[in-house]
Each structure stands twice: as structure tokens, then as C-alpha cells.
Amino acid sequence: MEQEFVNDFTRLLEELDALLVTHPANVRYLSGLPHAEDAWLWLDAKGPLVLATPLYENDLAEAGLPHLLGRPKDWPKLLAERARGRVGFESEHLSHAALEGLKAAFRGVELVPVRGRVEALRIKKRPEEVERIRRAMAIARVAYREVRPLVRPGVREVEVAAELECGMRRRGAEGRAFPTIVASGPHGAFPHAVAGEKALREGELVTLDFGARYQGYHSDVTRTLALGEVPAELARILNAAKAALEAALLRVGPGKPIAEADRAARAVLEREGLLPYYPHALGHGVGLEVHEAPRISFESEGVFEPGMVVTIEPGVYVPGLGGARVEELVWITEEGYAVLSEGL
Ligand code: ZN
Ligand code: ZN
């Protein structure tokens, strides 16, 4: 991964003499360092330079990356010698205290806030990244299949979540991608409900939203299940979410406008009178972060491009009644797309 990043240099340094990368996912993407939360990456015409604590000496030596070691508060001083002209920093990912440290250490340097430069490179996944996401999905798939018989009346939401997370870990996940959602009955009306003490009940919908992390990469998938016979209104909600998903997927593929996919989902829900109950965007990119660019919404600009890995996840949430969300993880290819979350 790290060899290729030299090619991306010109794009990253556009109108800058140097760029200081501080967002852990960005540092990891460019350097390949697995412990990027404790490192900065400096880029200038001389090449990359990693700033890290002495804990990471072995990792850095192994990776063959030029580096300087020290306490984080001393990193600005270590960089001062290379800092000149216009130095970009990631304004969304640098603490105010760290910025003050840079200002104090750098003399005659213009600090320029920049946003989204490395994120823009991360949008299109390289084959080895897709493989890791695929693996993270495969782990989640196996865990789901094992846990599926447990999803029945009388079992508490937290038990289902615990078994899912445990199953993913046992299958090789570094951890869960995010706190597992198991939301049943009226809980399902909250898009970001987690898993609570509530027991599942006959006649309810239950939404399971989960994923695994594997070698830094994530998976993300949602299924909504009916527990036995559900009232007609709940069945209608679930069918509408599924129909919205199908309509959206027809608009996914290379060169197709991103906004159209969300518009297609919204049109289905509008026909059902359920649009007011769909409060979020259709989806998001997935990679080193669970939520990353591109955002999939009716307001998004641009088109789907080969290499993107995104979720398509329409949902319907009716307060007091319940909710349904269906989420697929799709990889945009040259020909169309592949559903990485199939088989669940
Ligand atoms: Zn999800
Ligand atoms: Zn998602």
C-alpha cells in the first residue's frame, strides 16, 4: 500500500509545501502503520516522515519508514526544521492545543487548514482493501448465521448482540465495527438504538445492524426480521424498506449519479406515505472507517465510480410502532456492482 502513495503526492501537496496528516485513518492509509492513532505523518518534497512515540520504533523500522521518535508534545519541535512556506494541516483532525504547539514551534510558516484531501484518495479502494472489507464481511456473515436461531421471542437484545460480537471475534475479527444494534419493537423506531435489556417478543420487527473489523477495515450490514406473525402495518413498513432498497440498487453502478439512488428510494417511500419516516441518507462509504466518503444522499454530487465500497440502507422508523432498515454493502466495479453482504 505504502509504495503507491508516492504517486498521490502531487495531489496531496497541491498549493502546499508540506502537509501534516493527523487523522489516524489517514495516517494508516498512507503509511500502512497499524497503530496510526499514535502517529503523525509529515509529507513534503523530500518524502514522508513519521512522528511517533518510542513505543513504535520496531513497527517503523520494519515498515522501513523514515521517522522521528519523541513525546507527542515535542513533535512540532522535531518538525520545525522541515517546516517552511505553506504547511497544510487537517483542520477537522487536529486539536486546538496541537495547533498552538505548531504555531509556537514553526517560525515564518503559514499554517493552512485543509479538509478531505486524503479522504478523497480513500474513496476508491484498491484491490487489497476490497479483500479486507470482503473478509470483514465474511466474518460477520458466519457469525450472523450462527446467531440467527437465537433471534426468537424471549431472548434479550443484549444477548443477541453479545453472541454476534463474540462470534465475529472468534472468527478472526479484531473487534466489532461499531456497537452492535439489536432493536426490537418500539426500539426499532430509533435509527441509532443500540441493544438493550428488552426481550424480543412475538409479533415484533427486530433490526440487527452489525459489522466486523479486520486488518483495520470494516463491514456493515443490516437485517430486519419479523418475529412470527406481525401486524399488517409492520409488514408494510418492512416491505417498503425492502422495495426502497431494490429501487435504489437499480440506480447503483459506475457512472450513475449518486443522488439518483437516494431519490429512487425516497420515491418508493413517498408512494407509501412513509417518506416522513426516513430521516437519514441512503448510505455511506466503508473502509478504514465505518462511515467515510462518499455520502450517498439525494444531495450528493458526483457519480458512483469503480472501486467505491458503499452501503445502501433505506429505513422506515415510526415512533411508538417500530422500524425497519435493510442495508447492503456494495462494491462498485467496472461492469456494475457486487453485493458483498449477500448470503445473510
Ligand atoms: Zn449499518
Ligand atoms: Zn451503515
- At 274 the pLDDT is 98
Helix, strand counts (H, E) of the chain = 10, 19
Position 1 scores a pLDDT of: 44
The Å distance, Cα 184 to ligand 1 centre, comes to 15
Please name the residue that has the C-alpha cell 457469525. 143
The CA-to-CA distance between both ends of the chain, in Å, stands at: 31
Which of 77, 81, 84, 87 is CA-nearest to residue 19?
87
Q: In 32-156, where does DSSP find H-type helix?
A: 57-63, 75-79, 96-105, 117-122, 127-147
Cβ neighbour number for residue 124 with a 10 Å cutoff = 16
Q: Where in the chain is the domain with CATH 3.40.350.10?
A: 9-122
CATH topology of domain 127-339: Creatine Amidinohydrolase (3.90.230)
Three-state SS at 233: helix
Centre of ligand 2 from the C-alpha of residue 60, in Å: 33
Å from CA of 19 to ligand 2 middle: 30
User: Ligand 2 centre from 190 Cα, in Å?
Assistant: 14
**Which bound ligand lies closest to the C-alpha atom of 211?**
1
Find out whether 311 and 294 touch, Cβ atoms under 8 Å.
no
Cα 336 to middle of ligand 1, angstroms: 22
Starting from the CA of residue 221, give the closest ligand: 1
Q: How far is the CA of 222 from the centre of ligand 1 (A)?
A: 5
Pairing status of strand 85-90 against strand 18-21: parallel
Please name the residues in contact with 187: beta carbons below 8 A apart, sequence gap of 6 or more: 157, 193, 196, 198, 322
pLDDT of residue 193: 87
Task: Give 283 Cα–ligand 2 centroid separation in angstroms.
Answer: 6
Closest Cα partner for 184 from 169, 168, 197? 197
Distance 152 CA to ligand 2 centre (A): 24
How many Å lie between the centroid of ligand 2 and the Cα of residue 244? Answer: 15
CA of 179 from ligand 1 middle (Å) equals 10
Q: How far is the CA of 125 from the centre of ligand 1 (A)?
A: 19
- Say how many Å lie between the CA of residue 332 and the centre of ligand 1: 18
Cα of 169 from ligand 1 centre, angstroms = 18
Separation of CA 63 and ligand 2 centre (Å): 32
**Chain-centre distance of CA 215, in angstroms?**
14
All CATH 3.90.230.10 domain ranges of the chain, comma separated, are: 127-339
Compute, in angstroms, the gap from residue 250 CA to the centroid of ligand 1: 20
Residues of the chain with pLDDT under 50: 1-2
Q: Is 87 exposed, middle or buried (0-12, 13-18, 19+ CB in 10 A)?
A: buried
- Distance (angstroms) between ligand 1 centre and the Cα of 66 equals 38
Nearest to 212 by CA among 258, 260, 164, 177: 177
Tell me, in angstroms, the distance from the centre of ligand 2 to residue 255's CA: 22
Q: What are phi and psi of 17, to 5 degrees?
A: -90, -25
Ligand 1 centroid, distance to 214 Cα (angstroms)? 16
Regarding pTM above 0.85, the answer is yes
Q: What pLDDT, on a 0 to 100 scale, did the predictor assign at position 9?
A: 75
Residues 6+ apart with CB under 8 A from 7: none
- Nearest CA-CA partner of 62 in 52, 77, 72: 52
Q: Domain 9-122: which CATH class?
A: alpha beta
